[in-house]
Structure 1
Amino acid sequence: MASSSHRRRPRPEQDFQWRPVRGPLLAVAAVAVVALVVTLIVAFRPGDASGGGQDRAVSDAGAVTSATPTVPDSASPTSPKPSTASPTPSAGKRTTPPASATPSTTATPTRRATSGTARTPSTTTAPAAGRIRPGTTYDGVATSYDVGNGDGACSFGPTSDVMTAAMNTADYETAKACGAYVSVRAASGKSITVRITNECPAPCAVGQLDLSQQAFAKLAPLSAGRIAITWSLLSPATSDTVSIRYKTGSTQYWCGIQAIGHRNPLARLEVRTGGGWLALTRTGYNYFLSEQGTGCGAELRLTDIYGEQLVVPALAVRADVVQRTGVQFARH
């Protein structure tokens, strides 16, 4: 007799009602899981141009930014911000004018004399003028002193000319005022002409003239002591010519040179050298020094405050001797 199988056979109804269809369900589930995993991987993968259905772009710095960023109308995404290391210059302080700037047409104001109140604008060109300018009237005061033999800080030497004056230190300007002719007018209307031969140190104030007693007496009694004046530079008529004097002790190795009798104030004295003209330094005692002897005994060139130049032929170095030149500056 045949033996029965140990596997139990299901009932016929169980074959149709209770047996699960495992193959197709597992396949569908597997497909769904794979699809979900793929979707997640794609959605979170960096740098994907189509991930998650959103367009993305990578900036130059590597950060992910929107491919179409929203930019306000008033800003540009490519315009750099001003650097704080070079701030904008302060308004009103322009160091370089724009190329289209039009030169100012405002007239340059007349320079006021520092030695007093300039009440008459200068009308004469004087390129080398110092503090005392032609065509300008100065306010000041006048005092008086005993001039003795007439010598003074300008080192012109003794003189019988008593119509002289000492200039205050500021306007003396290291002897630049030496030899200048000045018209002086008092409040009374009286006026005189004096030549500057000396310096009046402090307490003489800017604008002050210390007149010889003889000159002061023509404006007011000496007992007045101090009077208000106005004064101005003159370029007088004269028949005199310029003279040259070498200082005591001068040689070809060291010399001091002085010009005397010039109509207009002297601005510069130069000596001829192998390389051209050399300007010498002026001292407070009105000599131009050549410390190394350069140009001693050579040709000279004199320049007055108006810029006129006179060339003087070479003169022998003769200490303390006045040598005439026969030349003179023009009158202004």
Structure 2
Amino acid sequence: MKVTRHAASRRRRARTGTRGLWTTAIAALAATGVVLCLVMVLRPDGGSDPGRTVAASAADTPSSTTQGKPSRSPSPSLSPSTAPPTATPGASPSKPPAATPGARAAASKPARAASAEVPSAGRIRPGVTYRGLATHYDAADGNGACLFGPSDGLMIAAMNHTDYETSRACGAYIRVRAASGATVTVKITNECPLPCAPGQIDLSKQAFAKLGALSAGELSITWTLLSPSTSDTVAVRYKTGSTQYWCGIQVVGHRNPVARLEVRADGGWRALARTEFNYFLSEQGTGCGGALRITDIYGEQLQVDGIPVRADVLQPTGVQFRQH
């Protein structure tokens, strides 16, 4: 009986030990399951609820990072609509920065002023000082490439070929100044052909003598365009051979350089082509003997009527451009 009780006791302890092992194993498995579930829920990559990931990201501190990249969302104060743009080195902005009203006015004022003052100026512009050489020639009676005819006085000059600009310089008044300070005012009546250089003025001997000795041959000079006072009025002359079917028209006695000449045609105005010999040509006779509109380099326009086709006759208009 004693042996039997000991054996029964060992069997009970064995069963108890076995139950304890199973209980421990089950508890361990349960704990493992809980850990796995937590890992699946808290993993930053797939397997978690997107809404929960965003919430976690928003709750991170500013210094928290995930794989080296900031994990917090941009602050609402730096939203795309208000955040300062990031410039790309070397890249031009797609839109220039807005200037203050005062800056815009200051930047645009010179352009407006230039356009308003000399809208039709060519190479020779008011307010500009040009540099070059003065030479001299025998002007005889003062007639030249501009075909104005003999001059009343010989304070005249020939403009270099470049600045002559297809007779645009004809009739212009310029003030020439030598390095010594001596000055002379001359009217352009002629062209100085190549190799006369841009800026060069070929003066009559009489005009050159106002600046220095003729024996010098040439002088360094500066010169500027003038708009002189005058009692003369503009006159119009039709070229020899002009008729109602073909005509050349010349403007004489103008205070400021002439930029354009137009004739009335088809209810409007048609500009005539300018020639090297200082006439505007109407090859088909358009506007010959009709109304004319003359524009100077400052944009002022003079309209004249009743100028009949009378070849090689100087016909006064009674009008003149304003002084500038």
Find 2:286's aligned residue among 294, 307, 312.
294
Aligned counterparts, 1:226-237, within 5 A: 226-237=218-229
Distance in 2, matches of 1:268 and 1:302, equals: 6
Partner of 1:223, secondary structure, is helix
Q: How many residues align?
A: 239
Instruction: Return the letter of the residue paired with 2:166.
Output: T
Instruction: Return the letter of the residue paired with 1:102.
Output: A
Instruction: Return the letter of the residue paired with 1:250.
Output: S
Q: Which runs of 4+ in 1 moved over 3 A?
A: 90-94, 103-111, 121-124
Unaligned segments of structure 2, at least 5 residues: 1-45, 48-65, 70-88
* Structure-2 change in CA distance of 1:108 and 1:223 (3 Å): farther
Partner of 2:117, secondary structure, is coil
* Structure-2 change in CA distance of 1:321 and 1:92 (3 Å): farther
**Equivalent position of 1:311 in the other structure:** 303
1:263 matched to 2:263? The reply is: no
Contact 1:302-1:310 within 8 A present in 2 as well: yes
Q: 1:137 offset after TM fit, Å?
A: 1.2
**Equivalent position of 1:218 in the other structure:** 210
**Equivalent position of 1:42 in the other structure:** none
**Equivalent position of 1:6 in the other structure:** none
Cα deviation digits, residues 148-170 of structure 1 (max 9, x gap): 22111111112232000000111
Distance in 2, matches of 1:123 and 1:256, equals: 30
* Structure-2 change in CA distance of 1:173 and 1:255 (3 Å): same
Q: 1:274 offset after TM fit, Å?
A: 2.3
Deviates more, 1:100-109 or 1:290-299: 100-109
Identity of aligned residues (%): 63
Aligned counterparts, 1:111-150, within 5 A: 125-150=117-142
Distance in 2, matches of 1:223 and 1:311, equals: 47
Distance in 2, matches of 1:199 and 1:132, equals: 14
| TM-score normalised over the length of structure 2 | 0.68
Find 1:283's aligned residue among 275, 284, 302.
275
Q: 1:109 offset after TM fit, Å?
A: 11
Q: 1:108 offset after TM fit, Å?
A: 7.0
Task: Name the structure where helix makes up a greater proportion of residues.
Answer: 2
**Equivalent position of 2:98 in the other structure:** 102
Aligned counterparts, 1:123-272, within 5 A: 125-272=117-264
Contact 1:122-1:134 within 8 A present in 2 as well: no
Partner of 1:171, secondary structure, is helix
| TM-score normalised over the length of structure 1 | 0.66
**Equivalent position of 1:39 in the other structure:** none
Q: 1:197 offset after TM fit, Å?
A: 0.4
Instruction: Return the letter of the residue paired with 1:249.
Output: G
Distance in 2, matches of 1:183 and 1:124, equals: 23
